[in-house]
Amino acid sequence: MGRHRPERRSHPAPGRWTHLLARLPWITLVLLVVLVVGTAELVQPRTYAASATLTAPTERAADQLSVQLTDPALPSEVERAVELDPELSGSVRLAVRHEAEDREVHLQATAPDPRLAALAADTGAALSVQERADGTELTQGARVPTEPVDDRGLLWLILAAALLAVAVRIEAAHRARPGDHPAPQPSGAS
């Protein structure tokens, strides 16, 4: 007597890779991506910027001052001068804005706290003025910013909504295709 082997059911292989992509749960994938991006957006600290203005006695002195303010060691000097908490070490960024033939040089500081941004801009400007004996002065101190500079607003939500709409469209197109679904079996057949 021979053994009876059960029939192996074989699933038809997809004809093209596009069929594989169409079978993915796009809505779920997009919602997971939105959840991850939204969480990252909420966890990420905001950045605030404040700017102090220095005025040099001559255009040449202003050019030299702008070069002096781009010294890579200045941010760490500012952090030491303001006695920055070690947890925030490296969070202060400095940038210089100076136009040719202008005696004013603007030092912009960015930091995760608005008061720290203003303090860093003023401190960086004061440290630079102390090193110079040519009459350069701090003419306008930094104001504490009220809004973050990296305010991304609802841009990521709009992008997420657009991706979700595309995912819904793909899912709807896949479900509407008649050849993709097996024919229903009659309920009394054996």
Burial of 49 (0-12, 13-18, 19+ CB in 10 A): buried
Q: 35 pLDDT exceeds 90? A: no
Q: What is the mean pLDDT of the chain?
A: 79
Q: What percentage of the chain has pLDDT greater than the value 70?
A: 75
Q: What does the alpha-carbon distance between residue 173 and residue 184 come to, in Å, rounded to a whole number?
A: 20
Residue 96: strand pairing partners: 107
Q: Do 55 and 36 have their domain in common?
A: no
Domain assignment present for 2: no
Q: Do 36 and 83 have their domain in common?
A: no
Q: Do 75 and 158 have their domain in common?
A: no
Q: What percentage of the chain has pLDDT greater than the value 90?
A: 26
Q: Do 94 and 79 have their domain in common?
A: yes
Higher local confidence (pLDDT), 189 or 161: 161
- Residues 6 or more apart whose Cβ sits within 8 Å of residue 97: 51, 105, 106, 108
Higher local confidence (pLDDT), 11 or 80: 80
Domain count, the chain: 2
Q: Do 113 and 161 have their domain in common?
A: no
Give the pair of three-digit tokens for residue 15: 């004809």
Q: What does the alpha-carbon distance between residue 127 and residue 149 come to, in Å, rounded to a whole number?
A: 25
Predicted pLDDT at 135: 84
Q: What does the alpha-carbon distance between residue 51 and residue 94 come to, in Å, rounded to a whole number?
A: 9
Q: Do 30 and 93 have their domain in common?
A: no
Q: Do 85 and 162 have their domain in common?
A: no
Domain assignment present for 16: no
Domain assignment present for 121: yes
pLDDT (average), residues 48-58:
92
Q: What does the alpha-carbon distance between residue 145 and residue 117 come to, in Å, rounded to a whole number?
A: 8
Pick from 29, 60, 39: which is nearest to 163 by CA? 29
Q: How many C-beta atoms surround the C-beta of residue 105 within 10 A?
A: 27
Model confidence, pTM: 0.61
Q: Do 131 and 110 have their domain in common?
A: yes
Q: Do 92 and 159 have their domain in common?
A: no
Domain assignment present for 5: no
Q: 157 pLDDT exceeds 60? A: yes
Q: Do 136 and 51 have their domain in common?
A: yes
Domain assignment present for 119: yes
Predicted pLDDT at 123: 93
Q: Do 63 and 34 have their domain in common?
A: no
Instruction: For residue 169, give its domain range.
Output: 22-42+151-176
Predicted pLDDT at 117: 92
Give tens-digit pLDDT for 65-98. 989 999 999 999 999 998 988 888 888 999 999 8
Reported confidence tier of residue 23, pLDDT bands at 50, 70, 90: low
